[in-house]
Amino acid sequence: MSDISKQMLAGRQVFFSFLIVNTLSGIVRGTTMFVVNLYAIHLGANLLELGLLRGITGFSILIAALPLGFLADHFGGRRLYLFGEITGAILNLSLLVVTTPAELIVRSGLIGLTMAFRIAAMQSTLLEQLQVIGKNKAGWLRGSNFVGMLFLGPLIGALLLKHFSYNGVFIISSAAMTAVILLAWLTLKAEARHAKIPKLRIQLSFLRHLAGQVALMARNRQLVSATISEGLNSACFSVFSVFVLVVALKVFFFTPQSAGQLISLGGGAFVLAVFFGGFVVENIKFKKALLGSFAATILGLSLLALARHGTSLWVGAVVLGLAMGVTNVITIMRVSHVRGRTGQVAGFYNVSTSLGNTIGPMAGGLIGKIFGPQAVFVLFVPLFVLCAVWMCFSSTALEVYHE
């Protein structure tokens, strides 16, 4: 077997090991997130508090994104992943003593920090192996996470709540997280590249890493454009996963099980687009694919905002999930072309995602508290229109992906 073949085989093994672990981890996270949102509503959280609950998680990931990109370059994804999962399991158990929405928000912020380790590890691994596994699989790693987080997680969470209390579900999810940690330890290979570096050199390297982030942003407008669209996309989907639950329960009087199925449907559509959207995008013009996904996103948002019957929620969830999945695939394809160390690029990409996950729910919570939960979806329509117009008329924002 040639050296190139060995390298390709090793790359695929690393990637698919992360894929399996990431899927299982996503199931645990998705179950916990869905139950936490329901628990917040049970505790009497208002729309602003629900927005803060989701937004604080994004903020925690945001402040950790850049330094963790550095750590991914120097210590490898396996170590970061295991540390994030272990601390996350411990913090997950602390949910047992939460009795107010404010306490729940604080715990979610701390759990968000642990999620940042896992996200940095996964994103760095994806960008590193993308040349080997093929760019049409650009969305697979994130898609595997969303299989659990947005598709299976809500379904399992709703099912568990039929038989266990909130605290019972938190205990079960912590135990499941421990099992994922053991699996990760057994299956993921250590790939640290600079594990033994003197502390002074680490500090200097970190400063150079931050300078590299700024330089990367300054010289690559394609990266800026891609991350802006991904930030907006992330904000929109974060708002969907939180506030469609409120609309379903409070406006259309869904049961928790039906609300879980609704979120699962949107997540399933997202996953479908992420796994197969790459093959579609490769065969049509890049500009048309991105603008088409924006148009479909606007349609899905309008269906949710103007819904007068529960059916509109189901249709809107599918349209929105498909559209945002395609946008995510396109963004990762664009980011994979950026030259630079994968940890740096992943860190910059994660900043935009975390900004969206932070600002979107918080702004949505404020709008929802003033105008009602369905008005939250209207917030994003003009933003996607402006983004589409900017990308149409900017000379660098929509450089063609195909070479």
| pLDDT tens profile 38-52 | 999 999 999 999 999
Cα(189)–Cα(174) distance, rounded to whole angstroms? 24
At 334 the pLDDT is 73
Instruction: Write down the pLDDT at residue 203.
Output: 44
Report the chain's mean pLDDT, rounded to a whole number: 80
pLDDT of residue 5 exceeding 80, the answer is: no
Q: Which one has a higher pLDDT value, 20 or 246?
A: 246
Residue-wise pLDDT for 16-26, tens only, equals 777 788 788 88
* 190 Rama sector, left if φ>0, alpha if ψ -120 to 50, beta otherwise: beta
Second-level CATH architecture of 3-393? Up-down Bundle (1.20)
Of 55-59, 70-74, 157-161, give the range with the top mean pLDDT: 157-161
Q: Are 202 and 373 in contact (CB under 8 A)?
A: no
Q: What is the tens place of the pLDDT at every residue in 362-381?
A: 999 999 999 999 999 998 99
Instruction: Tell me the two tokens of residue 274.
Output: 């992420």
Least confident of 64-73, 110-119, 175-184: 64-73
pLDDT in tens, 170-218: 999 999 988 888 887 776 655 544 444 444 444 445 445 555 555 555 5
Q: What per-residue confidence (pLDDT) applies to 8?
A: 59
SS3 194: coil
Burial (CB < 10 A; 0-12, 13-18, 19+), residue 190, is exposed
Q: Whose structure tokens read 């919570």?
A: 365
Rounded average pLDDT over 25-30? 89
Tens digit of pLDDT for each residue in 281-312? 777 776 778 888 999 999 999 999 999 999 99
Contacts of 155 (CB under 8 A, 6+ apart): 260, 261, 264
Section 65-84 average pLDDT: 70
pTM higher than 0.95 for the full model? Answer: no
Residue 368: predicted pLDDT:
93
